[in-house]
A and B are shown apart, each in its own frame.
Chain A
Amino acid sequence: MKGTLSNVPIAKELDIVGARQTGRNIATELGFSSVDQARIATAISELARNIYLYAKKGEITFQQVEGVAPVGLKIIAKDNGPGIKDISKSMIDGYSTSGGLGAGLPGVKRLMDDFDIMSSDEGTTIHVIKWLR
């Protein structure tokens, strides 16, 4: 079990549930604790909802990776949406352009171990990793 484990397209609200369930199953298989499973599921939920809300379409990819720990789950959220205008602002708690709580992206950063975001007017790609400790 190396490399890409699964790929879930996001196009409608129900796909968020699908992505979350896939992620939770993978996390369980990799041996994450129930608290980490909840963290991973919540992070996927946030990322998938961002795709659905702002870009309409995109995909979530799950990969098993190696690094600071032997096993890690990498989640890639990729879309071709309008992009995030001000990334540093989007990482501030309480900042939201859609009337939400504005805790999504900074929350995901705290829920996961590694967080990497790239955004331009051609789309946004977010890489997050949770290490199995």
Chain B
Amino acid sequence: MEKRLRNIILGHSDQIIKNWLVKLDDNKVTEYGSTISQEAIEQTNREFVNVIFSNIENNGESNDLQEFSEKIVNLGWPLGYLTEGMQAFRSVAIRTILEDIGETKNNEEFLSIMEGVNDWVDPIKNRLINEYSSNWTNIVSLQKVALQELSAPLIPVMEGITVMPLVGTIDTDRAKLIMENLLNGVIKNNAEVVLIDITGVPVVDTMVAHHIIQAAEAVRLVGSQCILVGIRPEIAQTIVNLGIDLRNFPTKSSLQKGFRTALEMTGAKVVSESESEGDEIENILNSIEKE
């Protein structure tokens, strides 16, 4: 029975493909790609149906399912494109088989045809969905790693002075990372002063403030000093409204001002005695300011 169904499907492949493409148009699967050219959609549809047929021919032992799922993910098309495509294929295939056999004698035969087609279609559908979602999971976890890598860098600027620029939202995981990087970096770089720059932190609520205060306190315990820089006027106002006490460590509005304070604290000074030397430090200051 199964062989017969398979032969019918393969024998009528041209007709099935034609009907399937029409059905896809009817189902408005193409709506997903409103910004994608009609040509690209048609090409992908043809590729889709070829993948389905090559899987039926090879008894599901081919790798093009994986490649095709990956392609759909990379195109940014939704999972619905795959599931609706497979549903359309199922109904087209069943219709074609029924037309080929002629009249169905009884419900029993009709059911066995349904089951036979489902046995083809469902594994393909499941594999497509699995590949699609594992591709997505993969992308998400890669992005998470990438984000984590740039989440709390520590930059040694001069002898004894390091800068940690913070950009973006600080959540619990990141706060932990900031603390670890800060302490490791302070010891590794032998830093006397650490500048924490919060210019890029959109909101400083009590949680963020709490983590910064804790980090500064930890830095103090290992014998260094923290300066909080990059406090924008609106952030200053919300900190005051919240009643957060930041008196225990110095704060500055800009990294430049903080750096000057840090220089004073480490006993260094910007001098213009020798033109070139002064310029060099000025250049460093200017380049930091641009960040």
Q: Do A and B come from one complex?
A: yes
- B206 and A103 form a contact (CB under 8 A): yes
Binary B-proximity of A81-110 (CB < 8 A = 1, otherwise 0): 000000000000100000011111011001
B residues 183-235 near A (Cβ < 8 Å) are: 202-207, 209-210, 213, 233-235
List residues of chain B with CB within 8 A of the CB of A104: 205-206
A42 to B204, Cβ gap below 8 A? yes
Given contacts A101-B244, A103-B243, contact A42 B169 (CB under 8 A): no
User: Do the beta carbons of A103 and B244 come within 8 Å of each other?
Assistant: yes
Are A35 and B237 in touch, CB under 8 angstroms? Answer: yes
Band of interface residues on A: 20 to 34
Which single member of B206, B213, B238, B243 contacts A38 (CB below 8 Å)? B238
Contact with B along A47-71 (1 / 0, CB 8 A): 0010000000000000000000000
- Decide yes or no whether B274 CB sits under 8 A from chain A: no
Contacts of A100 in B (CB 8 A): 206-207, 210
Tell me, in angstroms, the Cα distance from A104 to B210 when the chains sit together.
11
A34 interface residue (CB < 8 Å to B): yes
- Answer yes or no: B242 CB below 8 A from chain A CBs: yes
Chain A CB within 10 A, most for which of B206, B209, B237: B206
CA distance A58 to B243 in the complex (A): 26
A46 CA to B241 CA in the complex, in Å? Answer: 13
- Tell me if A17 is interfacial: C-beta within 8 Å of chain B: yes
User: Given A38-B234, A38-B235, A101-B210, are A110 and B205 neighbors across the interface (CB < 8 Å)?
Assistant: no
Please determine whether B205 and A49 come into contact, CB atoms closer than 8 angstroms. yes
| B178 → A minimal CB distance (Å) | 16
**Cβ of B171 under 8 Å from chain A:** yes
CB distance from B169 to the nearest CB of A (A): 5
| A-chain residues with CB within 8 Å of residue B209 when the two chains form the complex | 101, 103
Verify A38–B237 contact, CB threshold 8 A: yes
Contacts of A17 in B (CB 8 A): 169, 171
Does B107 touch A at the CB level, under 8 Å? no
**Inter-subunit contact A110/B242 (CB<8 Å):** yes
Contact A35 B234 (CB under 8 A): yes
With A49-B207, A101-B206, A102-B206 known, 10 other A-B pairs at CB within 8 A are A35-B233, A42-B238, A46-B206, A100-B207, A104-B205, A104-B206, A110-B241, A110-B242, A111-B238, A111-B241
14 A-B pairs within 8 Å (CB atoms) are namely A17-B171, A20-B202, A34-B234, A35-B234, A39-B237, A39-B241, A42-B203, A42-B204, A42-B242, A45-B207, A46-B205, A100-B207, A103-B244, A111-B238
Q: Which residues of B contact A (CB under 8 A)?
A: 169, 171-172, 202-207, 209-210, 213, 233-235, 237-238, 241-244
